[in-house]
Structure 1
Amino acid sequence: MKNVFLKSLKLYFFKGTKKREVIFKDHQTDIAGPNGSGKTTLFDAFTWLLFGKDSHDRKDFNIKTLESSGKNIEKTEHTVQGVLSVDGKDYDLRRVYKENWVKTRGELELTLKGHETLFYINEVPRKATEYAHEIGELIDESLFKLITNPRYFANLNWTKQREILFSMSGDVENDFLLDKISTIQNKTEIGGLINILNSGKDLEKYKLELRDKKKKLKEDLDKIPTRVDEAENSKPEEADFAKTEETIKFLADRVGKIDEALESASSAFSEKHNSNQSVLSEINTLRSKQQQVVFDANTEARTKDFESKSGRRDNESKIKEAESRVRILKNSLASTQKAKEITLGKRDALREKYSTVDNSEFTQKDGQLTCPVFNIVCDSPKANELHKANADTARETFNKKKVEELETINQNGAELNQELANHEAEITNVNADIEKEETLIAGLKSQLDAFPADEPIKELTGEDVPAFTELQYQINILNKKIVEVKADDNSLLKEEKQNLLTEIDALKKILAGKDQIHRLNERIAELNETGRNLAQQIADLEKDEFAVDAFNKAKIEECESRINGKFSMVSFKLFNQQLNGGESETCEILINGVPYSDANTASQINAGLDVINVLSKFHGVTAPIFIDNRESVSNIIYTESQVINLLVTNDKELVIK
């Protein structure tokens, strides 16, 4: 078993303690003093050293030591250092909480910029994560809380307490539980439950599935009576259906006889009517032929008229084409004349420019050569000779440029004259084409009088077509063969038939109730059968639920027996009996049969030690137990763990014994 032993603890400016060192004895150390003397501070220091929390599992608590005025003591390192012996190997642990004072540029005094925590193991600095990891290797934090504080387990939520206890009870074999509950249920039924468990399915989830299925089945079952009532209420009134069927048969026979009489009267009428229809059909055929011969005559007349007027249409079309060509030629003529005017304007401007250039002469500034430096007449022969040579060169350059410019003007003028000649030729050609087209138009128009006038053709009627008159003669002969057909008065028979059919329909509605009642009776029987099936399914599910409850109860009783067998003075109530016979989960600590909450302080502390002993044995580790209010207990039960008693005494200061 791993043995964690606290050998010493040093506090420097931790909470209200400025400096204190405690050396702990091998098995039991008493720390005595009045209230507020720092007993609990030692426990807080120990838990803060290991996990950064106080003994109440709080991270945010005031670590700093205050002055009498209540102000923080600045620039102080708040330190807890302790030596732990784990299976004989010592670990020197130190945690330091310090202010981070920084001198910023331009400031004379240091400024508090926050806090930092430093960690050391055997005087070697560690990062926070490294420190936490190594402490976790020595002892798990959650386990440490359970085995160092006698009241910690009792203050947990009951569900967490159950979880911890069941983790110590060990696995209970399904076959073992099957044997145990075989007197309640036969093994065949329980065997189905075991198959569910062996499949890896969670029993609680299976139980919820059963509950949900049963709920749905009950909802469906509850609807059955309502649906049966609806079917019963939908039934029509009972009637003498046999007598109704006989009456319908009698009335139907009478309708059949009326139909025979109407059919007989109708046959004579139909014979005459059919004869007339045959004659009318021949007449209609002849009238169709009349329409056709008139149509053919009009078609032939329109064809001849079209052929006779085709020459005039061709002539008019040629006139329109020629007139269109004339319009195009005249537009082209106007464009060419406009271009000619522009070219004439360019030639006139070029002639004026030629005259200006041709009349231009080289001119030289008169006077003597003047010195640009002294502003006097230059008498240097060499300078005057150079001056004269420059003037001659300028004159030659002027005359050469003049000749070149006049040649360019002449060349441009020749091009403009050629352009004007082209315009004149184009105008002459277009005028000739216009004259040719107008001559053609005049000739075509003179030919129009030789063609017949374009007047609408007269529409022919039957009177204008001899074949139509011949067909009308045949129609008149057929019209004389049509005879008057008068139907017999069968209104009374028809009225009687309608009345009989109305009466039959009313009786059939009554008779339909027979089939409706039969269908509804079948529906009611079907609903009742469904209800029986649903009730059987619910009963089967309730059997499964009972088997699950029996299995769970057996498992709880076995676990409860195993768990309670581990403790010397406490036991645990793990389920409550409900009024409906069911059971609900719970976890209540009992001290010799008395609920933990009703026991005195001494019993509660010893109960906590009993729990610690079992947990330490199960996990194979012991750690220092801090027992607060130790003065309330005259004797504590034996424990292999190190005990640190915190006692309230009348001593004026803290005493370590």
Structure 2
Amino acid sequence: MKKIELVVLKLRDFKGIKSLDIQLDGGNAEIFGDNEAGKTTTFDAFLWLLFDKDSNNKKDFAIKTLNGDGTERHNLEHTVEGSFLIDGVLVTLKKIYKEKWTKKRGQAVAEFTGHVVEHFVDDVPMSKKDYTAAVESIVDEEVFKLLTSPTYFNEQMKWQDRRALLIEICGDISDEDVIASNQSLAKLNELLNGKSMEDMKKIIASQKKQINDQLEMIPVRIDEINKMMPETTVDIEKMRQQVEQIEAEMDELQQQKIRVKNGESILIKQRQLQELEMKQNDLKRSFEADSLQEVHKLQVRLQEAQGNVQIIQSEIRMNEVEKQAIGRDIQAFTGRITQNEASMQKLREEFASLNALTFEYSDECECPTCKQALPKEQVEAVRAEALAQFNERISKRKAEIKAEGPVFADENTQIQAQIQTKNEKLNSVLIPKSKELNDKLAAAEKELVKFNEKLQQAQTSVPDVTVTDEYKSITLQIEGLQAEIKQLNEHAYEAVAGIDEEIEKLKFIRNGYNNALSQHANIEASKERIIELEDQQVKLAQEYEKLEQTTFLIEEFIRTKVNMLTERINSKFKYARFKLFDTQVNGGLNEVCETTFKGVPYGTGLNNAAKINVGLDIINTLSAHYGILAPIFVDNAEAVTKFIDVETQLISLVVSEKDKQLRVELEPIEYKEAI
């Protein structure tokens, strides 16, 4: 087990304490002082040295010494130094909190710009990161606070964290172990079907809410249906018989209407009319047959002539397109020849200008540095070199011109050949073809005009059948029959109108009966719906009851687990007991974590002495769990006459009115069973 003992704690200008050395040498001590004399400050300094926090677990507490008017006293170094024996090895930690003064450029006086903290381990300066790492290698911050303050577990930890820590100490109990311990819970395994207890609780809660929502809506729906159902005392069977009788009467009237519409005299007249119309059409076809046959032949020949004209016109267009393309090509070739001729002329002119060039050189030469005339032999050498360069440049350019000129000439020769080929095709093929096609077009158009004139003559020579005596006679007979049929139809219309009126009256009566029957059908459907809803209500209630039974099993499981877990946790402590669940009004259980002693809750009934000793009991168990013994600071220790047994260093902070300055006494404390 790791043992941490405080050997000495030194404070300099820390929270109003000018200078204080507490020499403990790993032993127990009592620190006496009046209220506000600085007893708690020693514990604050101890924790700040390790974790940058005070005994209330705050980081932003006031460290600096204050003047009488409450202002901060400047230019002080606020120092806390502590030496510890860690498993027999001495380690010294020191922190200095001081002001930072900076002299900006152009200013004679330095300005206060903040604070800095210096860190030391065994007098070796360290960065904050390395210092924190060194402290963490000794003990974890949260664990150390739990082991050094009897009130930290109960007053500064959240209840959820306290509960988790207790379960960590004693070990949680598996669902399988809980179910195995209580035979009445055996059915839970089947109900869970591999799901966790928490998931099953969520599923049941969701299902119960859905069922409740449906159960709440069913009475509302039934009430709405009842309100919408009208009261009726109709004889439904008799009404159905009346509807059948009315429909039979309507069928009979429909048959009467058909018989009237299809009267025998009208049918005879209509057949006679059809025969006359067929006879008239036959007369017209036979009368015009020969003349129309010639018209049809001429129409076919006319279409052929029109097609020939269109084909020749298409060929003419294609020939013209090709002629225009050749013309454009010849124009482009001619332009290229002109460009090449211009280029060759420029080369001739340049060649002539090169022949006309003469070498010019000044014999007056001087040194560019000293400005003296150069020797004659040196001047001659420079002149000879310049002349050689001049001749080489002229010769080179003439050679280039002689090489470039033939290229243009060769290209023009090739282009002239292409132009000749194009002209030959144009003159020997396309122009003669154009004349040939125009001649063919003129002949085809002449043929088209000829057939068009013949067709018009044939059409005008077709005889008009309507002027013949036979056609006129048939037309008069048709008009007579049409007049007779019209008269018969008018009389039939009056009879049909009367029948339709009777049918409409019967329809009106039948619709009234049918509306009543539909209303009755809606009432019956509503009654059936009410029965369905009532059945659904019963089924939902049964499902809810099953869920309630499962809920009861889960709550019984939780109660069983509560008892087992509580017994296991409490067995780890001598005096402290823990309430881990709270029973609700509806019988359900809520997770809590409340420390008690002899049934009295820590937060509402225990006095300070009991709170401190219960806290020491918890520290004993936590020390064994973590394998660490650390110094314990007991604030308000005057409330305790006897402390319970602890195995580690105990530093008591005792209120003493007579001690206006802190007084430290090193003395062994008699540990007895105080509770």
How many angstroms does 1:256 deviate by? Answer: 3.2
Give the counterpart of 1:621 among 615, 619, 628.
Answer: 628
| 1:607-648 deviation per Cα after TM superposition (whole angstroms, max 9, x unaligned) | 221222222222221211111111121111111121101112
Question: Are the counterparts in 2 of residues 28 and 642 from structure 1 also a CA contact under 8 Å?
Answer: yes
Root-mean-square deviation (CA, aligned residues, Å) is 4.0
How many angstroms does 1:550 deviate by? Answer: 1.8
What is the CA–CA distance in structure 1 between the aligned matches of 2:524 and 2:643, rounded to whole Å? 85
User: Which aligned pairs between 1:571-590 and structure 2 lie closer than 5 A?
Assistant: 571-590=577-596
Specify whether residues 250 and 562 from structure 1 end up closer, same or farther in structure 2 by C-alpha distance, changes over 3 A only.
Answer: same
Match of 2:510 in 1: 504
Match of 1:272 in 2: 268
Question: Are the counterparts in 2 of residues 193 and 547 from structure 1 also a CA contact under 8 Å?
Answer: no
What is the CA–CA distance in structure 2 between the aligned matches of 1:177 and 1:559, rounded to whole Å? 10
| 1:377-407 deviation per Cα after TM superposition (whole angstroms, max 9, x unaligned) | xxxxxxxxxxxxxxxxxxxxxxxxxxxxxxx
Match of 2:57 in 1: 57
Specify whether residues 97 and 193 from structure 1 end up closer, same or farther in structure 2 by C-alpha distance, changes over 3 A only.
Answer: farther
Mind listing any 5+ residue stretches in structure 1 that lack a counterpart?
307-458
Question: Are the counterparts in 2 of residues 81 and 93 from structure 1 also a CA contact under 8 Å?
Answer: yes
Match of 2:151 in 1: 151
What is the CA–CA distance in structure 2 between the aligned matches of 1:44 and 1:85, rounded to whole Å? 20
Segment drifting more, 63-72 vs 79-88: 63-72
TM-score (normalizing by structure 2): 0.66
What is the CA–CA distance in structure 2 between the aligned matches of 1:59 and 1:515, rounded to whole Å? 80
Match of 2:425 in 1: none
| Structure 2 residue matching 1:249: 3-state secondary structure | helix
| Structure 2 residue matching 1:171: 3-state secondary structure | coil
| Structure 2 residue matching 1:644: 3-state secondary structure | strand
What is the CA–CA distance in structure 1 between the aligned matches of 2:255 and 2:148, rounded to whole Å? 114
User: Which aligned pairs between 1:523-534 and structure 2 lie closer than 5 A?
Assistant: 523-534=529-540
Give the counterpart of 1:220 among 201, 214, 218.
Answer: 214
What is the CA–CA distance in structure 1 between the aligned matches of 2:519 and 2:499, rounded to whole Å? 31
Specify whether residues 579 and 70 from structure 1 end up closer, same or farther in structure 2 by C-alpha distance, changes over 3 A only.
Answer: closer
Match of 1:243 in 2: 238
User: Which aligned pairs between 1:360-439 and structure 2 lie closer than 5 A?
Assistant: none
Match of 1:263 in 2: 258
What is the CA–CA distance in structure 2 between the aligned matches of 1:243 and 1:235, rounded to whole Å? 22
| Structure 2 residue matching 1:61: 3-state secondary structure | coil
Question: Are the counterparts in 2 of residues 5 and 84 from structure 1 also a CA contact under 8 Å?
Answer: yes
Specify whether residues 155 and 652 from structure 1 end up closer, same or farther in structure 2 by C-alpha distance, changes over 3 A only.
Answer: closer
| Structure 2 residue matching 1:36: 3-state secondary structure | coil
| Structure 1 residue matching 2:242: 3-state secondary structure | helix
How many angstroms does 1:61 deviate by? Answer: 2.0
Specify whether residues 167 and 128 from structure 1 end up closer, same or farther in structure 2 by C-alpha distance, changes over 3 A only.
Answer: same
How many angstroms does 1:581 deviate by? Answer: 2.4
What is the CA–CA distance in structure 2 between the aligned matches of 1:172 and 1:94, rounded to whole Å? 45
Specify whether residues 253 and 114 from structure 1 end up closer, same or farther in structure 2 by C-alpha distance, changes over 3 A only.
Answer: closer
| 1:289-336 deviation per Cα after TM superposition (whole angstroms, max 9, x unaligned) | 89x99x99xx99xx9xx9xxxxxxxxxxxxxxxxxxxxxxxxxxxxxx
User: Which aligned pairs between 1:71-86 and structure 2 lie closer than 5 A?
Assistant: 72-86=72-86
How many angstroms does 1:281 deviate by? Answer: 4.1
How many angstroms does 1:101 deviate by? Answer: 3.0
Question: Are the counterparts in 2 of residues 286 and 471 from structure 1 also a CA contact under 8 Å?
Answer: no
Give the counterpart of 1:549 among 532, 544, 555.
Answer: 555
What is the CA–CA distance in structure 2 between the aligned matches of 1:578 and 1:17, rounded to whole Å? 51
How many angstroms does 1:175 deviate by? Answer: 2.8
Specify whether residues 167 and 277 from structure 1 end up closer, same or farther in structure 2 by C-alpha distance, changes over 3 A only.
Answer: farther
2:161 is aligned with 1:160: yes
| Structure 2 residue matching 1:535: 3-state secondary structure | helix
How many angstroms does 1:46 deviate by? Answer: 0.5
What is the CA–CA distance in structure 1 between the aligned matches of 2:133 and 2:6, rounded to whole Å? 19
Match of 1:645 in 2: 652
TM-score (normalizing by structure 1): 0.68
Q: Which residue identity is paired with 2:634? A: I
| 1:43-66 deviation per Cα after TM superposition (whole angstroms, max 9, x unaligned) | 111101100111111211222234
Match of 1:192 in 2: 190
| 1:211-242 deviation per Cα after TM superposition (whole angstroms, max 9, x unaligned) | 12211122123222333344445556353232
Q: Which residue identity is paired with 1:228? A: I
| Structure 2 residue matching 1:584: 3-state secondary structure | strand
Specify whether residues 561 and 280 from structure 1 end up closer, same or farther in structure 2 by C-alpha distance, changes over 3 A only.
Answer: farther
Question: Are the counterparts in 2 of residues 174 and 194 from structure 1 also a CA contact under 8 Å?
Answer: no
User: Which aligned pairs between 1:84-103 and structure 2 lie closer than 5 A?
Assistant: 84-103=84-103
Specify whether residues 611 and 468 from structure 1 end up closer, same or farther in structure 2 by C-alpha distance, changes over 3 A only.
Answer: same
Question: Are the counterparts in 1 of residues 65 and 73 from structure 2 also a CA contact under 8 Å?
Answer: yes
What is the CA–CA distance in structure 1 between the aligned matches of 2:203 and 2:529, rounded to whole Å? 31
| 1:583-602 deviation per Cα after TM superposition (whole angstroms, max 9, x unaligned) | 33333322222232222221
How many angstroms does 1:104 deviate by? Answer: 3.8
Q: Which residue identity is paired with 1:216? A: Q
Specify whether residues 651 and 518 from structure 1 end up closer, same or farther in structure 2 by C-alpha distance, changes over 3 A only.
Answer: closer
What is the CA–CA distance in structure 2 between the aligned matches of 1:158 and 1:287, rounded to whole Å? 117
What is the CA–CA distance in structure 2 between the aligned matches of 1:284 and 1:121, rounded to whole Å? 133
2:21 is aligned with 1:10: no
Specify whether residues 624 and 267 from structure 1 end up closer, same or farther in structure 2 by C-alpha distance, changes over 3 A only.
Answer: same
What is the CA–CA distance in structure 1 between the aligned matches of 2:611 and 2:514, rounded to whole Å? 89
How many angstroms does 1:496 deviate by? Answer: 2.6
Question: Are the counterparts in 1 of residues 465 and 471 from structure 2 also a CA contact under 8 Å?
Answer: no
| Structure 1 residue matching 2:587: 3-state secondary structure | coil
How many angstroms does 1:38 deviate by? Answer: 2.3
User: Which aligned pairs between 1:309-348 and structure 2 lie closer than 5 A?
Assistant: none
Specify whether residues 651 and 513 from structure 1 end up closer, same or farther in structure 2 by C-alpha distance, changes over 3 A only.
Answer: closer
What is the CA–CA distance in structure 2 between the aligned matches of 1:491 and 1:463, rounded to whole Å? 52
How many angstroms does 1:151 deviate by? Answer: 1.7
How many angstroms does 1:282 deviate by? Answer: 4.2
Question: Are the counterparts in 2 of residues 286 and 475 from structure 1 also a CA contact under 8 Å?
Answer: no
What is the CA–CA distance in structure 2 between the aligned matches of 1:26 and 1:92, rounded to whole Å? 14
What is the CA–CA distance in structure 2 between the aligned matches of 1:45 and 1:571, rounded to whole Å? 32
User: How many residues of Structure 1 are paired with residues of Structure 2 in the alignment?
Assistant: 505
| 1:349-383 deviation per Cα after TM superposition (whole angstroms, max 9, x unaligned) | xxxxxxxxxxxxxxxxxxxxxxxxxxxxxxxxxxx
How many angstroms does 1:582 deviate by? Answer: 2.5
Match of 1:211 in 2: 205
Question: Are the counterparts in 1 of residues 633 and 653 from structure 2 also a CA contact under 8 Å?
Answer: yes
Question: Are the counterparts in 2 of residues 217 and 538 from structure 1 also a CA contact under 8 Å?
Answer: yes
How many angstroms does 1:150 deviate by? Answer: 1.5
Match of 1:467 in 2: 464
What is the CA–CA distance in structure 2 between the aligned matches of 1:277 and 1:532, rounded to whole Å? 78
Specify whether residues 277 and 124 from structure 1 end up closer, same or farther in structure 2 by C-alpha distance, changes over 3 A only.
Answer: farther
Specify whether residues 27 and 251 from structure 1 end up closer, same or farther in structure 2 by C-alpha distance, changes over 3 A only.
Answer: same
| Structure 1 residue matching 2:464: 3-state secondary structure | helix
Specify whether residues 243 and 19 from structure 1 end up closer, same or farther in structure 2 by C-alpha distance, changes over 3 A only.
Answer: same
Q: Which residue identity is paired with 2:55? A: S
Aligned-pair identity (%): 32
Q: Which of structures 1 and 2 has the bigger CA Rg?
A: 1
Specify whether residues 274 and 155 from structure 1 end up closer, same or farther in structure 2 by C-alpha distance, changes over 3 A only.
Answer: same
How many angstroms does 1:205 deviate by? Answer: 4.1
Mind listing any 5+ residue stretches in structure 2 that lack a counterpart?
303-455, 666-675
Specify whether residues 127 and 463 from structure 1 end up closer, same or farther in structure 2 by C-alpha distance, changes over 3 A only.
Answer: closer
What is the CA–CA distance in structure 2 between the aligned matches of 1:533 and 1:83, rounded to whole Å? 75
Q: Which residue identity is paired with 1:226? A: V
How many angstroms does 1:552 deviate by? Answer: 1.8
What is the CA–CA distance in structure 1 between the aligned matches of 2:516 and 2:477, rounded to whole Å? 57
What is the CA–CA distance in structure 1 between the aligned matches of 2:496 and 2:255, rounded to whole Å? 12
